Chain A
């Protein structure tokens, strides 16, 4: 198994700065882009192995559209062959499942508070009416590919490509304006 350390920010010194903390208030928009992200992928005929790996880690088989929290990480099944783990990286899986660190590839913004859903409704067509803890919604946000993870009732984590970080941040800040959401 090749060492793909050049993808992993933790492999280099000095390590990058830690993410910004929470800002208390009616609503908050927080940059959490440096949370570790790992992609687990398998070949088309080995989906059972990937499912088993997910079940071992989280205690339940994977279901697309639902994320499960386990050991400080959210396991997000995107398709039967791809799972994104957001948070502490999982133990290196055995083949045929392979893992790639994609931390730097995604920007991650936390949008929380009672107005979080209203803010998102300004820039996204995703249906959050029945979203609760663990709802996983890959789809377009502000016209860019994204994944919305509902960590708690009114705590959303929006993941998008890191190249769109500045654009998405500015768009979310602008969308949050009428709702009096503070941002940092």
Chain B
């Protein structure tokens, strides 16, 4: 392979004895195990890997660390994969993105050649919004060329299974470089339960490529020995009030650590100059990694330009690998140190105070222009331009945790200032660039965290003190300079945001147009909004804005840091599909009977059993049975039980005789209906309260709240799930019950309407309540859920026909019974819904909602819930609008066609003027108009004879 270095030079990660093959853009490429797609392609001479987002400029390896967007490719149908970190697998199919017709010749580059003046920030608004017709043509075109990767909707659906894993621990260390490892080792050796998350293929961070491999390997050994749980290939996505989400393959770890140490390092920044995004322009770290880890020659003839030691060290490494270095430009006036001395000794031109101002070339850098401090230009031939604009601490996680940042003017970067409680930082993220200092700061952070948790002893505290003073005295290395400002007057684009193709000029335009705040400039130009999320350009955006607006970088600030820190597949975030479902003990019977099962709140319920009309008829003419197990059921008992209920309900419950039932409406403090149900008195101190299915949980919590406030001598137990309930209804219900409950007096006198009785039904001990939601003679039987099936089977065998929710809806509508939450809303008062009878304002004791209900009583209702009869064969849908004149005046809450009555009926909210019996109203549903008349809502059996028989 032409781009490979000789056998004994670099290549620590690759196995040169074996060869893998994959295809890129249809051509076969050879690689070694351990290569990444990017390193293999570069070695094969393929230096252009992608085209940029807007201008389709050719792009190649820049960072080789998974930070920048230049190497995004499609791998085996997955778009947006970073070639520089993706390991090569035999037979992979890699294709370029965002290039047409080919990577080598991208016709859309035309936008770059001519588009400039026509594509400033916000161009689609400025250029194409008028005439309107232009936008209708332009938008689809822009959408087609926008975006980087392509998802094939026709591709085979991929099954993704993510595991969640909750991990509690003492200390979480994010980042497995030298600082993170040192922190984990120290904390673990002091006895802490430590988890270390590192996103690389092996721990060690940048030390692996920069000569300190042995040191980090030793630390990793000690970490293992001390019991640190090492998560490799794991990215911390975000910091959420102390909960850190760590993504590792198909597992999402939810780590809740008592203390967190952030050792996320720093991101090397590029420089701003004309042509700075050409393939062949690489960061110093990329050069080190290509040589050390992959044994790839980054180029043949290099020029190096930087602001600190990393660039000089890269120059030294290039020479050691046998690559010619034509010149090294260092922006500092007089760089010192080992690397500088080595270069001078070797006779490499070390140009002090020089900066790079232009890179020129077709699809790869060919000529580099440097500028001396006095402005004189010199041009050099080179196919590799190594740049280094300094290290920007990766502070995103810390910022999410609430850390404030301060600007270090000397080095032109933002570093953490105040750390919030429970959060520690170590290493390059704090600004400790030298490995020795980074390791010390890691040990300090780990010790601090452990000591805060009560671990350690006097000896460990003494050691910590030593480390702290050693850190203070540690040499920071020759400091780097802040990056030079972008040059003026050079031909060629100076790209700031590589992801979105935002140039220095674009940022200046944004400021000129008034978007001078960094958050505004970001949104206007889209700088920092691409795949790298500002890793490569946040600092540069800040610097350009500071220069343009004449403010200090600290005043300009950075944009808000938000999760996720790295691109993460939606499948990982979707995780395990939880869908808690409640099912009654009778669920299997409904399925077996072929019922249509639907969601009713968080319950799975039978909608109907295939023939709703027949089910309704069975209730009217014979005997039907419905599973109402989802009803809320509460036992309220104790010496103060009656008093408690009197204070909770607007009606009087204390006057209820044992064995009797009363309908109750619950109102909140604002006097609006929140739920309804029945109260049955079992004895002096025991009441059995039912609520709506959807209200069950909330009402139990609500009652417990009042209990906590009033502290009455009462006990409340939620038996909603302990008991199953069925409603047996129809003229034959009595006969059916009598057969199954020989010990129960089911006669009209023995078991009257609103009576509560006890007895065995089909051998099952039951509480039987005679109430009438569906308008026919009926009994609600409540039994222990363990015996529900026995009861159901016996009832069905005795001739009761199962009916579902929809038939029940029709039956209760025929009786004009409102369903709370369907026919009423959060503003409905009892008076508006015709439930005044349930409010006893003359009660002596205070009750919930009393004050509001008193005030409401003195006011006229502006609208009422009324019954309506609809003309014609069809009925409007629930929610259809009631109109008066041509304006909306109310709505239909429930409407159905009643076969028994031969008419369409419904409940509706109508304004006061239209609520008199006999009023004619008009209903609009979509395009259809219905005529209706207001009638008494008790459409069927208005005197309740069938109910009370």
Contact = CB atoms under 8 A, between A and B. Distances in A.
A7 B587 CA distance: 20
Interface residues of A, number: 52
B722 interface: yes
A100 B582 contact: no
B164 A122 contact: yes
B49 interface: no
Contacts of B164: 122-123
A135 B348 CA distance: 70
A166 interface: yes
Interface string B547-590: 00000000000000000000000000000101111111101000
B907 interface: no
Which residue, B638, B782, B786, has most C-beta atoms of chain A within 10 A? B786
Nearest to A127: B168
A6 B582 contact: no
A121 B587 CA distance: 30
B711 interface: yes
Given A123-B164, A127-B168, A143-B578, A9 B787 contact: yes
A162 B767 contact: no
A44 interface: yes
Interface stretch (B351-359, B469-477, B510-518, B756-764): B756-764
B783 interface: yes
Interface string A12-56: 111010000000000000000010000101111110000000000
A16 B787 CA distance: 7
B585 A162 contact: yes
Contact of B707 (A8, A44, A123, A161): A44
Interface stretch (A62-70, A101-109, A150-158): A101-109
Interface stretch (B100-108, B309-317, B712-720, B814-822): B712-720
B212 interface: no
Contact of B719 (A41, A43, A100): A100
Interface in B314-331: none
A122 B165 contact: yes
B254 interface: yes
A132 to B, nearest CB: 16
- Chain B interface category by residue count: 35 or more
Contacts of A2: 637, 682-683, 685-686
Given A43-B638, A123-B164, A9 B786 contact: yes
Given A100-B635, A161-B582, A163-B603, A12 B719 contact: no
A167 to B, nearest CB: 5
B500 interface: no
Nearest to B760: A12
A164 B765 contact: no
Interface in A97-119: 98, 100-106
A45 B718 CA distance: 21
B656 to A, nearest CB: 14
A32 B640 CA distance: 36
B874 interface: no
A42 B715 contact: yes
Contact of A164 (B582, B711, B784): B582
B227 to A, nearest CB: 13
B491 interface: no
Contact of A6 (B721, B763, B783): B783
Interface string A124-135: 111101000000
Contacts of A142: 578, 580
B793 to A, nearest CB: 13
A162 B580 contact: no
Which residue, B193, B582, B587, B629, has most C-beta atoms of chain A within 10 A? B582
Given A2-B682, A3-B758, 12 more contacts: A4-B682, A9-B784, A14-B790, A43-B638, A43-B640, A44-B711, A81-B715, A100-B717, A104-B785, A105-B785, A122-B576, A162-B585
Interface of A: 2-9, 11-14, 16, 34, 39, 41-46, 81, 96, 98, 100-106, 121-127, 129, 142-144, 161-167, 171, 174, 178
Q: What are the 5 A-B residue pairs with the smallest beta carbon separation, nearest first?
A: A105-B722, A104-B785, A163-B582, A9-B786, A43-B713
9 contacts: A3-B758, A6-B765, A11-B784, A44-B707, A100-B719, A102-B717, A163-B582, A163-B721, A166-B581
Interface of B: 163-168, 193, 254, 256, 576, 578-585, 587, 603, 629-630, 635, 637-640, 682-683, 685-686, 707, 711-724, 758, 760, 763-767, 782-787, 790
